Amino acid sequence: MPIGSATRAVNKLIPKRGANKLIEVLDDIPIILSLEEVLGRLQVSRQNKYIENSVRELVERVKPLAGARAIYKVSYVNNKDGDSLEIGGVKFTSRVLRVNLDRIERVFPYIITCGKEISEIAISQNDLIKSYYLDTIKDILLDSALTYLKDYLGEKHQTAQMSSIAPGSLEDWPITQQKELFSLFNKRETAIGVRLTENYVMEPAKSISGILFPTEIRFESCQLCPRERCFGRRAPYDPDLAKIYRQPT
């Protein structure tokens, strides 16, 4: 969502002690949730009135709670060595991350959440289809919030097109490195109500994290993942691109 086309999120600047850098919190990110978008994501025709009515009911339940919060940090990349590098002084090990950031000096680690209220919307355990519809709606909220954050960073920090990569999105960058990513925020992620469990899972459940970086060519982790029948796929698998990432740096 373009920054100028809706009410701006209320932002807080959190100084990082001993440095001229800031962690910024974006509260109440505006999100417009429409029935048409949800049906489109589900690939459902409006001629199927039973499904449309079920989705409409869920959209109306979610709308009063629809919103997101984010925290991000301006960080710098250095000590690039083989398959590892440092971001904000914290070491990460991933060939894909290393290749993507090979010529990049400034990145934006982030955490986004839809909040506890969204995660606590209850659906009968026996209604798997409706649970799937609700999960899709929640994914749309997170996608919208990430798009907002990209637009916000583009305007504020004069960045070009931005791509995102997240721990756990590829075998090459395991979810265990969530610990390193969260350490960049020095527990300030509590400002948006998010915590990382001992199993590297974020709470509330509908939260995402990763690193945004400027890029001339849009990158999606899906391009390097050969897994078939993935409902969350954002881009087709590209075997030629995967070969490039396997080459020594």
**DSSP symbols for 149-215:** HHHHHHHHH---SEEEE-TTSBTTB-GGGHHHHHHTTTTGGGGGT-EE-TTS-EESSSEEEEEEEE-
Q: pLDDT for 131-173, tens place per residue?
A: 999 999 999 999 999 999 999 999 999 887 888 989 988 888 9
- Mean pLDDT over residues 23-36, rounded? 90
Q: pLDDT for 61-89, tens place per residue?
A: 999 988 899 999 999 999 999 899 999 99
One-letter amino acid at 120 equals E
Mean of the per-residue pLDDT values of the chain: 83
- Contact partners, residue 11, CB within 8 Å, separation at least 6: 24, 25, 26, 27
User: Is the predicted pLDDT of residue 15 greater than 60, yes or no?
Assistant: no
Among 15-19, 52-56, 156-160, the minimum mean pLDDT is found in 15-19
pLDDT band at 244 (very low <50, low <70, confident <90, very high): low
Report the topology of domain 3-78+102-220: NADH Oxidase (3.40.109)
Count of beta carbons in the 10 Å neighbourhood of residue 50: 7
The CB-side HSE value for 167 (13 A sphere, CA atoms) comes to 20
Domain segments of the chain: what residues? 3-78+102-220
Burial of 136 per CB tally in 10 Å (0-12, 13-18, 19+):
middle
- pTM (two decimals): 0.81
